[in-house]
Amino acid sequence: MKHLLTWSSITVLVVFSVLGDIVLSRAMKQVGDVHELWHRAGWWGVAKRILGNANFVIGILAMTGGFFAMLFALSWADVSLVAPAAASLTFLGNAVAAKIFLREKVDRRRWIAAALVAAGVALIAG
């Protein structure tokens, strides 16, 4: 039961996180470099531009869902299992999703990084 609840909540957390990361990344690319924007438009301009972005709002909702799944998981398992496992699985999911949905160039270097992280996750969970 403990393992089932832990890994179910980690799975929910990963799905929310990948969805959140992908739409937030798209949102911030639409917003543009916030440092440059801050020089041109100030804090208020940056806040308006970010909060007015629909992808940003969707991303926040997904991240909020993931956050409560994370709290639930942490009530059942150690942070040294939950945080790396969820974040690493999210990273693998993101590598695939970023290539498909964001058309990022996921080259050999990035795939090797993904494989090392996957191995690391297997060891942490074992």
Site residues (CB under 8 A) for other proteins? 5, 21-22, 24-25, 28-29, 31-35, 37, 50, 63, 67-68, 70-72, 74-76, 78-84, 87-88, 90-91, 94-95, 98-99, 102-110, 112-117, 119-124, 126
Q: How far is the CB of 106 from other proteins (least distance, A)?
A: 5
Q: In the chain, where do the E strands start and end?
A: none
Q: How far is the CB of 7 from other proteins (least distance, A)?
A: 14
* Closest CB to other proteins among residues 10, 22: 22
Q: Return the structure tokens found at 79.
A: 């942070």
Element (H, E) at 13: helix 2-31
Q: How far is the CB of 107 from other proteins (least distance, A)?
A: 6
* Closest CB to other proteins among residues 10, 25: 25
DSSP string, 74-107: HTTS-HHHHHHHHHHHHHHHHHHHHHHHS-----
User: Tokens 């994370």 appear where?
Assistant: 70
Q: CB neighbours (10 Å) of residue 16? A: 22
